[in-house]
Amino acid sequence: MLNFPLFPEQASTLAPQVDMLFAFLMLVTAFFSLLIALLIVFFSVKYHHKSKADRRGAVDSHLPLELVWTGIPLAIVIVVFVWGARVFYRMKTIPPNALEVFVVGKQWMWKIQHAQGQREINALHVPVGQPIELTMISEDVIHNFSVPAFRMKQDVLPGRYTRQWFQATRTGEYSLFCDQYCGTLHAQMTGKIIAMPPIDYERWLSGGAASSSGSTSSSAADGEKLFTSQYNCISCHKADGTGQGPSLRGVFGRTVALEGGQTVTADEGYIRESILQPAAKIVKGYKPVMPTYQGQLGEEDILQLTAYIKSLGGASETGP
């Protein structure tokens, strides 16, 4: 006997909450659709033009009835709004102990790098019971990172970081799709999430897939090589602040004062913009002497540099 499930299996902490809200919406929709259909049939028969129904004394308005058919839908809409807002808040509030994973979308593949350095193509290994934070960006067009079993989807945009998180609750392999049409081979932009017991995940990390360079150095370590050796950023961004550019030690997550009296939070987006468009926001007390690295650094390089700057400390580690 064939089995056609109405929903994908629930494999994340958020999946039951999303399904409960969806089921409520379906039940409310089905109830009122059936009620309206039955009332249409009932009144069509009762007040058919050849019927003997008494049509004298027709009422133009009935305040109690109008209050009922206004109040009930209003109450249902408020319930749906509050319920949906709570689910949305949980979906967008990333737990502080989440493992960070970087995702770069590209026609037509998913390039993934763990903070520990392991890289994957169209696959993501994760431990069960551990929140996973995805920091995502596209190299070309708009993509969408979607895992139906986790009830999770998030647009992946060019030139802008987006975030999403999930926590797998069951081991297994779950399908990953691009849910935004992104070109001729859009249907082939698929992958899988491999949810593993924590012990197996640690074993996979220790002997896991090597990076494209043949090593498994961390993202921060790769970023440090770019910063100190390949592009010699350290010659201007000295730790003691005596260089032509500001010190980056402890800057991540802090509020940075800019020329003109404005301020900005030093997050991933600000770091990316400062690398590619250094003249866009000039730190107070410094001159716009930094060259642009547009076209020299790929999105993976920028993510590695960001990971290195994070490793230098920030607001959460060093205090205000």
Same domain as 108, residue 196 = yes
Give domain status of residue 3, yes or no. Answer: no
Give SS3 for 179.
coil
pLDDT band at 214 (very low <50, low <70, confident <90, very high): very low
Q: What value does the mean pLDDT take over residues 76-99? A: 94
CA distance 196 to 170: 8
CA distance 240 to 280: 24
Give domain status of residue 176, yes or no. Answer: yes
CA distance 148 to 12: 10
Q: In this prediction, what percent of the chain has a pLDDT beyond 70?
A: 92
Cβ-based neighbour number of residue 256 at 10 Å: 16
Give domain status of residue 285, yes or no. Answer: yes
CATH number at residue 128: 2.60.40.420
Q: Which residue has the tokens 């033009």?
A: 49
Q: How far is CA 283 from CA 40, 245, 261, 271, 308, in A?
A: 68, 9, 10, 12, 20
Same domain as 174, residue 113 = yes
Per DSSP, 297 falls in state S
Give domain status of residue 45, yes or no. Answer: no
pLDDT digits (tens, 9 = 90+) for 20-41: 999 999 999 999 999 999 999 9
Tokens of 133: 């934070």
**pLDDT at position 43, please?**
85
Tell whether the torsion through CA atoms of 213, 206, 202 and 194 is positive or negative.
positive
**Residue 260 · residue 288 · CB < 8 Å:** no
Mean pLDDT comparison of 129-133, 224-228, 279-283, 294-298, highest-scoring range: 129-133
Domain boundary among 154, 172, 206: 206
Indicate the number of domains in the chain: 2
CA distance 9 to 121: 24
CATH number at residue 232: 1.10.760.10
Category of 251 on φ-ψ map: left (φ > 0), alpha (ψ -120 to 50) or beta = alpha
Q: How far is CA 44 from CA 15, 31, 36, 41, 48, in A?
A: 43, 20, 12, 5, 6
Tokens of 271: 């770091």
pLDDT band at 55 (very low <50, low <70, confident <90, very high): low
Mean pLDDT of the chain: 87
Residue 303, domain extent: 219-318
The burial class, CB within 10 Å (0-12 / 13-18 / 19+), for 3 is exposed
Domain boundary among 206, 235, 256: 206
**Residue 80 · residue 86 · CB < 8 Å:** no
Of residues 45 and 25, more confidence is placed in 25
CA distance 281 to 134: 26
Same domain as 228, residue 189 = no
Give domain status of residue 234, yes or no. Answer: yes
Q: Which residue has the tokens 């399904």?
A: 19
Give domain status of residue 184, yes or no. Answer: yes
CA distance 106 to 183: 11
pTM confidence score? 0.78
User: Which amino acid appears at position 32 of this protein?
Assistant: F
pLDDT over 60 (residue 308): yes
pLDDT band at 184 (very low <50, low <70, confident <90, very high): very high
Same domain as 262, residue 200 = no
Give domain status of residue 15, yes or no. Answer: no
Rounded-to-10 torsion of CA 57, 63, 64, 70: 120
Which stretches of the chain are DSSP H helices?
15-46, 63-92, 198-206, 219-225, 268-276, 299-311, 315-318
